Amino acid sequence: MKRIVSLIFAAVLMAAVFPLGGAHAADDKLTVELKAQNGSGQDGTATLTRLSATMVRVEIQLKNGTTVAQPAHIHTGTCATLNPKPTYPLTNVVNGASETEVAVDLEILANKGYSINVHKSGAEVGVYTSCGEIHEMMVGGTIGGTTAAAGSMDAMKNLQTAASDLVRETTNKDAAGAQAAYDAYHTLFAANEGAIKAKSADTQAKLEDLMNQVRTGITAADWAKASAAATQLETAVGSALTMMGGGSTSGSTRGSTNGGSSLPTTGNESLLPFAAGLVLLAAGLLSVGAQLRRRA
């Protein structure tokens, strides 16, 4: 009887270790490094915690805080190209600390090119004292179980898809389409610079150089140059992706129409632990059944 109880306990334990789904934990966190600006000395961090699918808590901690209330916001863009119009207001930073609950999903903030910015004071709101860019590739941060390395890989996959769109438009010699594709690629690149640089600084420099070549070709309507550079851009991202172990994937269908870009389905790796759990659970239950039949 004790053995039967032990086997049942083991089966239940297996089910607990390998739960159904589990793609998004309620306590997912993302840490953003805030860097001092304009000689403020206000380096620090912003910790983003998913409270629900539609709510995030943002906690700011800065060095050299003051008793003067410092406005803080979430903006679109990078710290270098910040949209001055705030998207999400945050509680003023006082004595270097602030906490706000924002009605947005954490994955949207992590993947749509946002930054957190702190101002000197309400009277000097035009003076920025600290800024940090939000993206998946952050130290200590995970999004729904996505690790920093996986975040970097996803960024490269998205870049390769965007590069494929750029190749298509420059090959078609469509000025409007090529400009839009270039802008989309550049925005995606800027939003994921941390993940790209984590791959290697050389990769980042090479992609930036090729971007400039593409842009110059489009501006001068030198479609041969623009298309060649775009093709090299796509290849460079694909090579980096292969070195990371993610394979070289391109989801763009190069035709005469705009849009239609998608990544190929590669499967859901998060199902592997679940499947393994089911196998072990089934094995445990079979053992229990065998024991009960022997007792009968």
46, 116 contact by CB (below 8 A): yes
Is 252 within a domain? no
| DSSP secondary structure letter of residue 261 | -
113 and 154, same domain (yes or no): no
pLDDT tier for residue 103 given thresholds of 50, 70 and 90: very high
Domain contains 255: no
Residue 191 pLDDT level (bands cut at 50, 70, 90): confident
What residues contact residue 40 under an 8 Å CB cut-off, 6+ apart? 64, 120, 129, 130
DSSP code of residue 33: E
Distance CA 12, CA 142 (A): 28
Q: Binning pLDDT at 50, 70 and 90, where does residue 269 land?
A: very low
Please tell me which residue, 177 or 11, carries the higher pLDDT value.
177
163-188 pLDDT, tens digit per residue, is 888 999 999 998 888 999 898 898 88
| Domain presence at residue 182 | yes
HSE at residue 171, side-chain half, CA atoms within 13 A, is 15
Task: Determine, yes or no, domain membership for 248.
Answer: no
* CA nearest neighbour of 126 among 80, 81, 78, 71: 71
Write the CATH number for 88. Answer: 2.60.40.200
Contact 122, 214 (CB under 8 A): no
Query: Do residues 100 and 168 both lie within one domain?
Result: no
What percent of the chain has pLDDT above 70?
Answer: 67
Summarised one tens digit per residue, pLDDT across range 212-260 is: 999 999 989 899 999 999 999 888 888 777 776 655 544 443 333 333 3
Model pLDDT, residue 88: 93
* DSSP-assigned letter for residue 77: S
Range of the domain at 6: 2-21+270-295
Instruction: Report pLDDT for 134.
Output: 86
Contact 93, 70 (CB under 8 A): yes
Domain presence at residue 251: no
Tokens of 219: 């501006």
- Tell me what pLDDT residue 12 has: 45
Structure tokens at 135: 């993206």
Contacts of 22 (CB under 8 A, 6+ apart): 145, 270, 273, 274
Could you tell me the pTM of the whole model? Answer: 0.42
Number of domains into which the chain is organized: 3
- C-beta separation of 226 from 178 below 8 A: yes
Of the residues 91, 109, 134, which one is the last residue of a structural domain?
A: 134
The answer on 105 and 64 residing in a single domain is yes
Are residues 14 and 92 located together in one domain of the fold?
no
More confident residue, 46 or 149: 46
Q: Output the six-digit token pair for 26.
A: 């309620």
Q: Is the pLDDT of residue 20 over 50?
A: no
CA gap 211, 230 in Å, rounded: 8
Residue 228 lies in a domain: yes
Closest to 241 (Cα-Cα) out of 258, 264, 224: 264
**Which of 134, 163, 194 is a domain's end point?**
134
Find the distance separating the first CA and the last CA of the chain, reported in whole Å: 12
pLDDT score of 289: 65
Among 85-89, 273-277, 287-291, which stretch is predicted with the lowest mean pLDDT?
273-277
